[in-house]
């Protein structure tokens, strides 16, 4: 899809005979939850904040990836707000509000949000994955659930105007290692999608980045990600003792691809490895969920087959051509590193990093109660 789509997805799985009970539980959670229970809300809020805080330290590569995505696309910006550093900051702000005796206003906002989201006007897709004999009963239960939703109104979506564009960010956390990221949107630089990009990205992570970032650099991991839906390409490292050298290694990837000479066996292995990811085995619930996502995104069988064909027909020339696309990351890529105060301050001037320390206030306040 050329435009982002936004859905709240509620899902569950059960044995066929227990589907009505599953639907009843979902209905109870969505419609009858007690949003006036301040004590329970504060408990859950503290747990969520604590989990997000731990993630900033232990999963810094995920935080960096989401911050990079937020620079490039509206969907990336929304995703970071919901699951990245911005989520932690929002949870911390919300907890401060509640603890400052502003509970009545918070409770009212929760109820208003519940009414806006959980209603018939917003319930646009019902998806069932089951054997044919079980579908009629499951469909009846789902239709009864939809009918029980408040009528609501189809409110126009909010007009989002995120401030996209390249940034160089340093996020200080209490750690002795770094999570170093660099990325850009290839579509914005004129790259047109080919399935070969998936082969090359995987190959790059298991060869060049593995050798330079992990083996030579001493990081626990070095890899890259390419999202064919958005066009985002990111380099990332995990528990990395380096910072500036890792970015320099990323910038050397295009030259590696330009000069590479692939044998037939090596190319075949790369294609097979990629196809294993594209057509990975899935259990029935995962198949149904993926089918629904593809429907929402407008990805038909023709599109998927075209990507497969391009993967299978990948040649060494595609590797050389993709080097040109990665030059956009080298020249225009945004930077994000989650790491120690000393490492970030040492690299601040060289890379023009804007530093933040989101856990400073949390450390001053002490651990969650």
- What are the pLDDT tens digits along the chain (369 aa)? 467 888 899 999 999 999 999 999 999 999 999 999 999 999 999 999 999 999 999 999 999 999 999 999 999 999 999 999 999 999 999 999 999 989 999 999 999 999 988 998 888 899 999 999 999 999 999 999 999 999 887 777 777 778 789 999 999 999 999 999 999 999 999 999 999 999 999 999 999 999 999 999 999 999 999 999 999 999 999 999 999 999 999 999 999 999 999 999 999 999 999 999 998 999 999 999 999 999 999 999 999 999 999 999 999 999 999 999 999 999 999 999 999 999 999 999 999 999 999 998 655 444 444
In whole angstroms, give the CA distance from residue 11 to residue 19: 12
**Positive or negative torsion for Cα 33, 38, 44, 49:** positive
What is the Cα–Cα distance from 229 to 294, expressed in whole angstroms? 11
Residues in Cβ contact with 268 at an 8 Å cutoff, skipping those fewer than 6 apart: none
Q: Which helix or strand (DSSP H or E) is residue 264 part of? A: helix 264-278
pTM here is: 0.91
Q: Give the domains, in start order, of the chain with CATH numbers.
A: 18-148 (3.30.830.10), 168-364 (3.30.830.10)
Can you give the pLDDT at residue 159?
A: 75
For residues 184 and 164, the answer to whether their CB atoms sit within 8 Å is no
Is the backbone of residue 3 left (phi > 0), alpha (psi -120 to 50) or beta? beta
Angle at 248 (CA atoms; ends 244, 251), nearest 5 degrees: 145
């Amino acid at each position: 899809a050329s435009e982002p789509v936004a859905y709240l997805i509620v899902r569950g799985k059960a044995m066929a005979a227990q589907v009505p009970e599953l639907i009843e539980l979902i209905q109870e959670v969505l419609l009858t939850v007690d949003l006036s229970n301040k004590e329970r809300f504060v408990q859950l809020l503290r747990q969520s904040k604590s989990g997000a805080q731990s993630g900033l330290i232990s999963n810094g590569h995920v935080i960096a990836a989401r911050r990079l995505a937020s620079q490039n696309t509206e969907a990336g910006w929304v995703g970071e707000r919901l699951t990245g550093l911005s989520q932690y900051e929002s949870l911390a702000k919300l907890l401060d509000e509640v603890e400052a005796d502003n509970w009545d206003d918070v409770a009212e906002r929760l109820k208003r949000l519940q009414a806006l989201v959980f209603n018939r006007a917003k319930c646009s897709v019902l998806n069932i994955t089951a054997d044919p004999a079980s579908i009629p009963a499951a469909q009846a239960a789902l239709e009864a659930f939809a009918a029980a939703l408040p009528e609501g109104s189809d409110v126009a979506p909010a007009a989002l105007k995120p401030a996209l564009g390249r940034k160089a960010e340093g996020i200080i956390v209490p750690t002795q290692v770094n999570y170093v990221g660099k990325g850009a949107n290839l579509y914005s630089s004129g790259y047109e999608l080919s399935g070969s990009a998936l082969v090359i990205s995987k190959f790059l992570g298991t060869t060049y980045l593995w050798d330079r970032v992990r083996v030579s650099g001493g990081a626990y991991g070095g890899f890259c990600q390419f999202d064919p839906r958005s066009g985002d390409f990111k380099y990332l490292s995990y528990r990395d003792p380096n910072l500036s050298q890792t970015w320099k290694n990323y910038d050397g990837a295009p030259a590696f691809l330009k000069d590479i000479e692939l044998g037939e066996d090596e190319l075949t292995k790369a294609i097979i490895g990629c196809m294993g990811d594209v057509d990975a085995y899935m259990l029935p619930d995962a198949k149904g969920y993926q089918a629904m996502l593809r429907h929402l995104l407008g990805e038909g069988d023709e599109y998927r087959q075209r990507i497969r064909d391009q993967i299978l027909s990948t040649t060494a020339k595609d590797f050389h051509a993709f080097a040109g696309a990665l030059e956009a990351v080298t020249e225009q890529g945004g930077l994000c590193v989650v790491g120690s105060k000393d490492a970030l301050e040492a690299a601040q001037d060289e890379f023009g990093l804007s530093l933040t320390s989101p856990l400073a206030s949390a450390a001053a306040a002490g651990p969650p109660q």
